Amino acid sequence: MSEEKKLTTAAGIPYYHNEDTQSAGPRGPLLLQDFILHEKMAHFNRERIPERVVHAKGSAAYGTLTVTHDISRYTKAKIFDTVGKKTRSLLRMSTVGGEKGSADTERDPRGFALKFYTEEGNWDLVGNNTPIFFIKDPKKFGDFIHTQKRDPYTNCKSPTMMWDFWSLNPESLHQVMFLMSDRGTPYGFRHMNGYGSHTYSLINDKNERIWVKFHFKTAQGIKNFTNDEAIRMKAQDPDFAQRDLLESIDRKEFPKWNLKIQLMTPEQAKNHPFNPFDLTKTWSQKEFPLIDVGVLELNENPKNYFAEVEQAAFAPAHVVPGIDYSPDKMLQGRILSYPDAHRHRLGVNYEQIPVNRCPYAVNNYERDGAMRVDGNGESNPNYFPNSFDSIKADESYRGIPLELDSQTGGWYDRNAQGENDHYTQPGIFYRQVLSDYDKKELVKNISFSLGLVSGPKKEDIVNRQLCHFFRADIGLGMAIAQTMGVNVEAAMKDVQHKEPVPAGA
């Protein structure tokens, strides 16, 4: 039996009356002076912090990234400096659109957010279980997420809003097809891949930059629910993914992912027909083969969900020396919005919360703010430069410039000529990547979901979206139209009459 401990207040004062409130006589009213009652009720009233506006429902575990292959010629990041190096890590996986109590098996992309506690600071790689995304300009993010949340009138999820948005934003097609395939309902978190999704860069010790994409391939093998199984599991065990991950680690069946990278030189990027910084596109692995890097193993469950999972804060802004950003517009937007979200949700000192704290030295001049719990720099100077302390800005960490196309700012049409091929990669995905079984499932899942669109704009939305599927692959468009009982000729005429096919389609 563990050592007996005294019950105390939050201030450490021992007390006895934890179940009875002080009152004026046994049947009289309660006394205001029973401060322990106030402490218990007031704390309870404040137990909830704002849930994440996206990725509210998630599970996390600690683990280790072990480097198995040398990539030090591409990056000076300390995490990759020696084969065999092990770095403590945290991986949080989540659904996107649902609230904190929503079901784990919803059709949704899954977040795949990593924190590596490296000796040169915490590196956060905040991706998804898909290598792509629905949009490619961050200005559209709020609008897009509104369509994945609740309708302002019905307060229900709305397939009409979702398909309306997707059909009006053809750049979403590639991700919509991933989402509607059976990989949109993965069998828990252990059987799916993770992707850094954005293009980043690696910087080596000669300060040379190379563009990079990160892939985490599940060693457990891909396994998905069918649409029907996922719906059934919502009722049977809405916390299926949380339970599956936690219990497998408790059983010491540690899930693993193989970390691989794709590299593209600046020269290749300049000449590539696709924009390599467009988050709706992949880099073909035939042209840019996967390179082995290491193995991520999850081997430790957090001891307390709220402390270590709910309060975990990941930000793609947090890259370490040897890893850098790219001009990917969505990445640029997330560099701003993630730390901003954490400051709102957890407070300005969120990086002092143990799960977020860098285990190595943190030296700067940020002071004060709510919940400052690390000594606040004690009596040391709170300004820079000063004549008193020994903190130096080390010149070897000077950044390297990024060559840009243009000297002037501007608003660029995200779907202008050269950026408007939304159909080639989804077509390849359908024809070359999906098996016959996957194709059937995709058609079934799309027809089911698109069939839920309702209201006066139903025909417009369905026909517009059907056009996108036709542009990706005629066989796919036909299969969906037939399953849904749509008269293709009439539908196409109607759409073409209302909106011309976008250039490049």
**Residues with active-site annotation:** 55, 128
Phi, psi of 23 (to 5 degrees): -140, 165
Phi, psi of 8 (to 5 degrees): -135, 165
42 binds ligand NDP (CB under 6 A): no
CA distance 360 to 136: 35
433 binds ligand NDP (CB under 6 A): yes
Contact (Cβ atoms closer than 8 angstroms) between residue 316 and residue 198: yes
DSSP letters for 110-128: EEEEEEEEETTEEEEEEEE
292 binds ligand NDP (CB under 6 A): no
Q: Which is nearer to ligand NDP, 37 or 434 (CB)?
A: 434
List of residues 6+ apart from 210 with CB closer than 8 A: 74, 201, 202, 204, 263, 264, 265, 266
392 binds ligand NDP (CB under 6 A): no
Ramachandran class of 504: left when φ > 0, alpha when ψ lies in -120 to 50, beta otherwise? left
DSSP letters for 307-319: IIIIT----TT--
How many CB atoms lie under 10 A from the CB of residue 427? 20
Q: What is the helix (H) or strand (E) element at residue 159, kind and residue range?
A: helix 159-168
Is residue 298 helix, strand or coil?
Answer: strand
Q: Which is nearer to ligand NDP, 321 or 427 (CB)?
A: 427
Q: Which is nearer to ligand NDP, 87 or 262 (CB)?
A: 262
Q: Which is nearer to ligand NDP, 95 or 193 (CB)?
A: 193
DSSP letters for 217-252: EESS---B--HHHHHHHHHH-TTHHHHHHHHHHHTT
Q: Which stretch binds ligand NDP (CB under 6 A): 53-61, 68-76, 239-247, 430-438?
A: 430-438
Q: Shortest gap between Cβ of 449 and ligand NDP (angstroms)?
A: 17
Q: Shortest gap between Cβ of 419 and ligand NDP (angstroms)?
A: 16
Q: Which is nearer to ligand NDP, 95 or 197 (CB)?
A: 197
Q: Shortest gap between Cβ of 282 and ligand NDP (angstroms)?
A: 4
318 binds ligand NDP (CB under 6 A): no
Among 311, 425, 447, 465, binds ligand NDP (CB under 6 A): 425
Tokens 């073409």 found at: 496
Q: Shortest gap between Cβ of 474 and ligand NDP (angstroms)?
A: 17
217 binds ligand NDP (CB under 6 A): yes
219 binds ligand NDP (CB under 6 A): no
Q: Shortest gap between Cβ of 18 and ligand NDP (angstroms)?
A: 53
283 binds ligand NDP (CB under 6 A): yes
272 binds ligand NDP (CB under 6 A): no
Q: Which stretch binds ligand NDP (CB under 6 A): 103-111, 233-241, 281-289, 370-378?
A: 281-289
Contact (Cβ atoms closer than 8 angstroms) between residue 123 and residue 90: no
Q: Which is nearer to ligand NDP, 282 or 465 (CB)?
A: 282
Q: Shortest gap between Cβ of 93 and ligand NDP (angstroms)?
A: 16
Burial of residue 368 (number of CB atoms within 10 Å: 0-12, 13-18, 19+): exposed
285 binds ligand NDP (CB under 6 A): yes
Q: Shortest gap between Cβ of 334 and ligand NDP (angstroms)?
A: 19
Among 157, 183, 256, 422, binds ligand NDP (CB under 6 A): 183
Contact (Cβ atoms closer than 8 angstroms) between residue 170 and residue 468: yes
304 binds ligand NDP (CB under 6 A): no
Q: Which is nearer to ligand NDP, 188 or 321 (CB)?
A: 188
Report how far apart, in Å, the C-alpha atoms of 442 and of each of 186, 438, 476, 481 are: 14, 6, 9, 13
The contact set with ligand NDP (CB under 6 A) reads 131, 178, 181, 183, 193, 217, 222, 282-286, 425, 428-429, 433-434, 438
